[in-house]
Structure 1
Amino acid sequence: MLSLFRKRKTKGSGKRNVAQERVASSIVSACIRLQQRWANFMQRHTERLSRNGKLILLSLFCLTAGSISIYFIANSLLSRKASSFTVAPLTKPPYANKSGDENTKAFVIISKAEYEKIQRFRFYMDSLARSPSSKKVHDSILTNRPGLMDSILLLETIYQSQNKK
């Protein structure tokens, strides 16, 4: 069970890890030196004080910190100034409920005569695809015009949708 939690050695621990550890250890040692200097400074200045002087200094510190905290709390609760957090309603942009297809669909009108031409062309292409002798012609048309049948289908759906309205 303890072998599950054993620290495994990583492969390829190279110069990068060594450099990172050096930087980290130098930062830690600098912080420790700063703490020790501060502690020595405070020790030198407070060792002259008596026990009562230290208690008075501690109580003054606590009173000052407590009164400042109470002031900030009371000021934030009792002040009528505009708060730093304001609640404002969100405004919906006028184009939010539009898909963008309105401009492309609006003026496409297909007459019945055009629709019949489209139907005849589609039947012609279907007849070319069915007979083996004209299959070459069908394939050459589709290779030269790759999106032709998709366009025919789109025109048929547009005509059917405009007749539903």
Structure 2
Amino acid sequence: MKLFKSKKGNSDEPSKGIIAEKLTAIYNKLQSGWAGWMSQRTSDLSKRDWVISLACFVLLMGGYSTYLVISGFTGTSAVISNNVSNIRKPAYTGQMDEPQNTGAPPSDAGHARIVGFRKYMDSLQADPSGKRIYDSIIKKRPGLMDSLVQVENYYQQFKNKRSWKTKK
């Protein structure tokens, strides 16, 4: 009794292409050729020779595997070694909420240029004829407006921190 009977003529498998069939035929030919060559090379080996060959193979591979396991636990260098080291935080990075101290404070002129550019982009977005230019700029530089907001926030944080230090 078959639990799942196969239906004749109703195949869900896609038909193989000509290239796939040819590649499969080439693979099968190579595989049978290799098997024939190996069979021919080993046809004169006795059972004793096979047992000795198998024992040598098992001893070599077992010894190498044992060496790798022991070297993994002891920390001595193996044949192929990947060094794992700690990731160090670069000196110029700060915490998320505090501005990064790069040495030079942001200038008022630079901030004014950024604010002016943001106003220009807002006016392009509001104008129907400038909307096409705005869209092309945003398409080329998708994170531009987000970067402008981040720079303005950075300047405001720096300005607030500077005014807080002068009040003390």
Q: Same fold (TM over 0.5)?
A: no
Task: Provide TM-score, normalisation by structure 2.
Answer: 0.43
Task: Provide TM-score, normalisation by structure 1.
Answer: 0.43
Q: Greater helix percent: which structure?
A: 1
Relative contact order, CA 8 A, sep 6+: which one is greater?
Answer: 1
User: Whose radius of gyration is greater, 1 or 2?
Assistant: 1
